[in-house]
Chains A and B, each alone.
Chain A
């Protein structure tokens, strides 16, 4: 039986993921009485650090902070609330022929390293970096914008459309043409135009496929490449890297900012459904029957979970339901964490350069390797040799593992969320075995130092965190579901067909990664409606 609580809130945020917390903090700061309801025992959603084995802190979902909006860091004073981001100093790409490729923030050092592989690439690299930087700077303002509806003629939409045109018109013609091409090309084609080195293109193309169920040769991955490049760009504000304590520490910092702004956060409070009366959201009912009423309900859950599970379709227009049904959310990404009794020894690691272990370690020796990994998985399978982006957090923050021990975080693609016959424990173990075998080919001592291993497949990300299909970006970053089309045409401005109901998760513009942008933009939209 449901029991009503007496408390009425201005705003209830369903889900305490990083965007839900950002949204709540902004609304709290604006004077609203806000309640965040989180299903799990801790806030963060996919932005969490978990001590799965005593003493070993695992990044079981997100692992790096790359696109967190500088505005969010400053406006919520996240540094004061404990956020400390440590930049990753390097990328190390072990190759199959015993060689390696590395890069550092030091442009000259990287240039020399690229020159070791190809003199021509070293020359092209400067120009490539300049061009990507220009395009990213040009496009960046769109991330922090509430998307306009191009079909609308309201003064506000017309004004926003004019701002979008302004952003594009500020570019030179050459840059605009290049942007048009990059947005519609494959990452592989784009990189082929610049570079000849197999390893360099291998590592660069991975920015085009992270979290994306496409191969680097698929048009559309050029956009994803740029999307992630904007993150590197904001690295100049020291917003790119590893958060001390793991990504969970970021969630704790945002939660702390939110609490300071008067936000109430209830964990272990899974929402069963949104209460709707006469087409208006009036609050939520928890799975335990508790009811909370509010003037505004915001969902941090992905669009499919929000509109196909938390709300009955009868409350929604047919077109909208079909938009949400067709929203592409199949996911190829897994997270693996390893507890290690020592450091992995990569056969291709040059003597004296062991500091490279403190950065990213990428298993992506060529575009062909990554494309093959995609091909293995795209019909409902998994990569026989997966692409991996690895990191040893305990080298950056010794608190992540017991003394002398280490943790290693591996972002792994591809393993289909729609696995043939479905996922189960046995298949999880099988794929985890493939991941470890693949890594051990490059670091033969791995199995000797392995204490614990842990995998989060798309199945686990869905079961544990509630991400539909385990999609880390709450839906593919495909062009047909970006900007004013995300998650649905006409409903890209964080509002929904239900009055007083909003969205603030990564299913909305500008999509995934730990950006805080959907949470912040949604708060701005809400405050436009309810100052």
Chain B
């Protein structure tokens, strides 16, 4: 029997970030990953002979402070920007936005001169709002109500930032948080095509449509994580984020075990005392779960250990995974009509209007897969040839909606996606050598992501800030002493590492760059 100071269950970027900070503060940390891949679903794996692709999320960015603080560049992290965002339109047409504001204005002017004029101010406003969120995301939400003196300090600092934007901007930002993205788009733009494209980030990963209230929050959330319109990944794929973090963790003395066997948390008299991994029982004075709250409190810990009230709150959490992920091994470069090579390095989106997205959701909310889905496509081999044999390519597709309890078959999804994309790349079907499809239920069974939600719980205003992961438990603590949460299920959620960093700070990690 071995003894560790701290055991972390799961190895997502949040788990590894927490591991790094805690180990750096002198804890003896063990990270346990039941699958063969560090990162769990946040990994890039071989899915066909010499073809590698992301398993879960196909984009994401670590928080810049974490990258700097943990010297992740030294540990092999090489960020790949996807600085183009293309919209695939009916009839094989398209247009491409980029980080270059002037160029993008010109592109939009081709669709709607009025929209082009408004675009810079729009980006400015959403950036103000997402910068505000970024600040809120770097701190632990207040614990008390009414707020204690310490809570008031945290809140005052945030409200000072908001006030610093100016009176008008302050209320504009507050409005954004609660608006439907349909309303937001209607307020700013007239072009259905532009509105559809920009609205996608507001429904990405959720089983909600753009007409629903508060969806703009989801858009701002992704922007705050650096994963909004213009996305990023890493050389080697999304799994490389975890590889770099794992390398840093090891340099701080963290031990990482993959294929550790199935996990459970040992609890005695309301105190976590360690972990059972497979047949091995490992003691620890501190146990941290990177898993979502439902999995943690129904599978890793026996529910009888918890109060009925708490169990009810866990049961009420919303997951509703609605994303299917598809990876294709292509024998040649897929020629998308009108899309430049530069644009192929970015993200291609099929969502020609806000109503298109809403109609796709209409089918999904009744439990079925829409015939006209919302798609995002990336060709990671454009920036990293090592992911496929020479001259060949990997195409990753994000598909919504595939509601978690639908009975759709993988073949149906694969054919549907290829059919939809063939309008823009007519010979696509003939290029496919292999394919891989993940449905929400597979994420649940293989990676313990409840209902296949890739973000640890639905990203929504009702499950954010002091309500995430559960009302009353936003400080990374749980009703079980010495058991903490650090995953995407906790504030703020996502794979930027901020959840893990905040959790580590709550656990007394030192030597952090100031939040």
Residues of A within 8 A of B (CB): 150-152, 165, 168-169, 171-174, 176-178, 180-181, 184-186, 189, 193, 214, 217-221, 319, 326, 328, 368, 371, 375, 378-379, 478-480, 484-485, 489-490
Question: In the assembled complex, which residues on chain B have CB atoms less than 8 Å from the CB atom of A174?
Answer: 471-472
Stretch at the interface among B207-215, B337-345, B390-398: B207-215
Residue in B145, B168, B175, B460 whose CB lies within 8 Å of A177:
B145
- Which B167-185 residues have a C-beta within 8 angstroms of A? 167-168, 170-172, 174-176, 178-180, 183
Residue in B175, B365, B472 whose CB lies within 8 Å of A480:
B175
A-B contacts, CB under 8 A, total: 106
Q: Are B145 and A489 in contact (CB under 8 A)?
A: no
Q: Are A480 and B144 in contact (CB under 8 A)?
A: no
Question: In the assembled complex, which residues on chain B have CB atoms less than 8 Å from the CB atom of A220?
Answer: 178, 180, 212-214
With A177-B466, A184-B178, A485-B171 in contact, do A326 and B187 touch (Cβ < 8 Å)? yes
Residue in A152, A171, A368 whose CB lies within 8 Å of B145:
A171
With A177-B466, A189-B318, A485-B171 in contact, do A479 and B145 touch (Cβ < 8 Å)? no
Q: Are A181 and B178 in contact (CB under 8 A)?
A: no
A185 to B461, CA, bound (A): 8
Give 18 A-B contacts (CB < 8 Å), ordered by A residue: A151-B171, A177-B467, A181-B462, A181-B467, A184-B461, A189-B462, A218-B180, A218-B211, A219-B460, A220-B178, A220-B213, A220-B214, A375-B362, A378-B358, A379-B358, A485-B171, A485-B175, A489-B171
Q: Which of A193, A328, A371, A480 has the most CB of B within 10 A?
A: A480
A291 to B365, CA, bound (A): 56
Question: In the assembled complex, which residues on chain B have CB atoms less than 8 Å from the CB atom of A319?
Answer: 168
Question: In the assembled complex, which residues on chain A have CB atoms less than 8 Å from the CB atom of B183?
Answer: 328, 478, 480
Kindly provide the distance from the CB of A186 to the nearest chain B CB, expressed in whole angstroms. Answer: 8
Kindly provide the distance from the CB of A497 to the nearest chain B CB, expressed in whole angstroms. Answer: 13
Q: Please name the residue on chain B nearest to A476 by beta carbon.
A: B183
Question: In the assembled complex, which residues on chain B have CB atoms less than 8 Å from the CB atom of A181?
Answer: 462, 467, 471
Question: In the assembled complex, which residues on chain B have CB atoms less than 8 Å from the CB atom of A186?
Answer: 212-213
Q: Are A489 and B175 in contact (CB under 8 A)?
A: yes
Residues of B within 8 A of A (CB): 144-146, 163, 167-168, 170-172, 174-176, 178-180, 183, 186-187, 208, 211-215, 316, 318, 355, 358-359, 362, 365-366, 460-462, 466-467, 471-472
A165 to B211, CA, bound (A): 31
Q: Please name the residue on chain A nearest to B461 by beta carbon.
A: A184
Q: Are A184 and B460 in contact (CB under 8 A)?
A: yes
Q: Are A150 and B170 in contact (CB under 8 A)?
A: yes
Kindly provide the distance from the CB of B284 to the nearest chain A CB, expressed in whole angstroms. Answer: 31
Question: In the assembled complex, which residues on chain A have CB atoms less than 8 Å from the CB atom of B466?
Answer: 177, 180
Q: Are B168 and A180 in contact (CB under 8 A)?
A: no
A368 to B208, CA, bound (A): 15
A171 to B366, CA, bound (A): 37
A171 to B144, CA, bound (A): 12
Question: In the assembled complex, which residues on chain A have CB atoms less than 8 Å from the CB atom of B163?
Answer: 151
Q: Are A173 and B460 in contact (CB under 8 A)?
A: no
Q: Which 4 A-B pairs have the closest CB atoms?
A: A220-B213, A489-B171, A177-B471, A479-B178
Kindly provide the distance from the CB of B187 to the nearest chain A CB, expressed in whole angstroms. Answer: 5
Kindly provide the distance from the CB of A45 to the nearest chain B CB, expressed in whole angstroms. Answer: 27
Question: In the assembled complex, which residues on chain A have CB atoms less than 8 Å from the CB atom of B462?
Answer: 180-181, 184-185, 189, 219
Question: In the assembled complex, which residues on chain A have CB atoms less than 8 Å from the CB atom of B146?
Answer: 165, 168-169
Q: Are A177 and B365 in contact (CB under 8 A)?
A: no
Q: Are B174 and A485 in contact (CB under 8 A)?
A: yes
Question: In the assembled complex, which residues on chain A have CB atoms less than 8 Å from the CB atom of B172?
Answer: 489
Question: In the assembled complex, which residues on chain A have CB atoms less than 8 Å from the CB atom of B318?
Answer: 189
Q: Are B212 and A480 in contact (CB under 8 A)?
A: no
Kindly provide the distance from the CB of A181 to the nearest chain B CB, expressed in whole angstroms. Answer: 5
Q: Are A490 and B355 in contact (CB under 8 A)?
A: no
Kindly provide the distance from the CB of B306 to the nearest chain A CB, expressed in whole angstroms. Answer: 16
With A193-B316, A219-B460 in contact, do A378 and B211 touch (Cβ < 8 Å)? yes
Q: Are B144 and A490 in contact (CB under 8 A)?
A: no
Kindly provide the distance from the CB of B348 to the nearest chain A CB, expressed in whole angstroms. Answer: 26
Kindly provide the distance from the CB of B152 to the nearest chain A CB, expressed in whole angstroms. Answer: 10
Kindly provide the distance from the CB of B182 to the nearest chain A CB, expressed in whole angstroms. Answer: 10
Kindly provide the distance from the CB of A527 to the nearest chain B CB, expressed in whole angstroms. Answer: 26
Kindly provide the distance from the CB of A218 to the nearest chain B CB, expressed in whole angstroms. Answer: 4
A248 to B358, CA, bound (A): 40
A177 to B179, CA, bound (A): 20
Q: Are A176 and B145 in contact (CB under 8 A)?
A: yes
Q: Please name the residue on chain A nearest to B145 by beta carbon.
A: A173
Kindly provide the distance from the CB of A321 to the nearest chain B CB, expressed in whole angstroms. Answer: 13
With A173-B144, A193-B316, A214-B213 in contact, do A480 and B179 touch (Cβ < 8 Å)? yes
Q: Please name the residue on chain B nearest to A213 by beta carbon.
A: B211
Question: In the assembled complex, which residues on chain B have CB atoms less than 8 Å from the CB atom of A185?
Answer: 462
Question: In the assembled complex, which residues on chain B have CB atoms less than 8 Å from the CB atom of A484?
Answer: 171
Q: Please name the residue on chain B nearest to A372 by beta carbon.
A: B366
With A151-B167, A177-B466 in contact, do A371 and B365 touch (Cβ < 8 Å)? yes
Question: In the assembled complex, which residues on chain A have CB atoms less than 8 Å from the CB atom of B212?
Answer: 186, 214, 217-220
Question: In the assembled complex, which residues on chain B have CB atoms less than 8 Å from the CB atom of A184?
Answer: 178, 213-214, 460-462
Kindly provide the distance from the CB of A291 to the nearest chain B CB, expressed in whole angstroms. Answer: 36
Q: Which of B172, B366, B461, B472 has the most CB of A within 10 A?
A: B461
Question: In the assembled complex, which residues on chain B have CB atoms less than 8 Å from the CB atom of A180?
Answer: 462, 466-467, 471
A213 to B195, CA, bound (A): 20
Kindly provide the distance from the CB of A163 to the nearest chain B CB, expressed in whole angstroms. Answer: 14
Given contacts A180-B462, A184-B462, A189-B462, 19 further A-B contacts (CB under 8 A): A151-B163, A151-B171, A165-B146, A173-B145, A173-B472, A174-B471, A174-B472, A177-B467, A178-B471, A185-B462, A219-B212, A219-B214, A219-B461, A371-B365, A379-B355, A479-B179, A479-B214, A485-B171, A489-B168
Kindly provide the distance from the CB of A176 to the nearest chain B CB, expressed in whole angstroms. Answer: 5
Kindly provide the distance from the CB of A139 to the nearest chain B CB, expressed in whole angstroms. Answer: 15
A323 to B213, CA, bound (A): 19
A176 to B183, CA, bound (A): 28
Question: In the assembled complex, which residues on chain B have CB atoms less than 8 Å from the CB atom of A378?
Answer: 211, 358
A152 to B167, CA, bound (A): 8
Q: Please name the residue on chain A nearest to B318 by beta carbon.
A: A189
Question: In the assembled complex, which residues on chain B have CB atoms less than 8 Å from the CB atom of A478?
Answer: 178-180, 183, 213
Question: In the assembled complex, which residues on chain A have CB atoms less than 8 Å from the CB atom of B145?
Answer: 169, 171-173, 176-177
Question: In the assembled complex, which residues on chain B have CB atoms less than 8 Å from the CB atom of A379?
Answer: 355, 358-359
Q: Please name the residue on chain A nearest to B366 by beta carbon.
A: A368
With A219-B208, A219-B462 in contact, do A490 and B171 touch (Cβ < 8 Å)? yes
Q: Please name the residue on chain B nearest to A192 by beta carbon.
A: B316
Kindly provide the distance from the CB of A396 to the nearest chain B CB, expressed in whole angstroms. Answer: 36
Kindly provide the distance from the CB of A161 to the nearest chain B CB, expressed in whole angstroms. Answer: 11
Residue in A169, A176, A479 whose CB lies within 8 Å of B213:
A479
Kindly provide the distance from the CB of A245 to the nearest chain B CB, expressed in whole angstroms. Answer: 37
Kindly provide the distance from the CB of A152 to the nearest chain B CB, expressed in whole angstroms. Answer: 8
A484 to B174, CA, bound (A): 11
With A151-B171, A378-B211 in contact, do A217 and B365 touch (Cβ < 8 Å)? yes
Question: In the assembled complex, which residues on chain A have CB atoms less than 8 Å from the CB atom of B362?
Answer: 375
Q: Please name the residue on chain B nearest to A478 by beta carbon.
A: B213
Q: Which of B171, B355, B467 has the most CB of A within 10 A?
A: B171
Q: Please name the residue on chain A nearest to B359 by beta carbon.
A: A379
Kindly provide the distance from the CB of B65 to the nearest chain A CB, expressed in whole angstroms. Answer: 28
Kindly provide the distance from the CB of A374 to the nearest chain B CB, expressed in whole angstroms. Answer: 9
A219 to B211, CA, bound (A): 10
Residue in A189, A479, A480, A490 whose CB lies within 8 Å of B167:
A490
Q: Please name the residue on chain B nearest to A166 by beta carbon.
A: B146
A217 to B170, CA, bound (A): 29
A322 to B146, CA, bound (A): 37
Question: In the assembled complex, which residues on chain A have CB atoms less than 8 Å from the CB atom of B211?
Answer: 214, 218, 378
Question: In the assembled complex, which residues on chain B have CB atoms less than 8 Å from the CB atom of A165?
Answer: 146
Kindly provide the distance from the CB of A308 to the nearest chain B CB, expressed in whole angstroms. Answer: 16
Question: In the assembled complex, which residues on chain A have CB atoms less than 8 Å from the CB atom of B460?
Answer: 184, 219
A218 to B466, CA, bound (A): 22
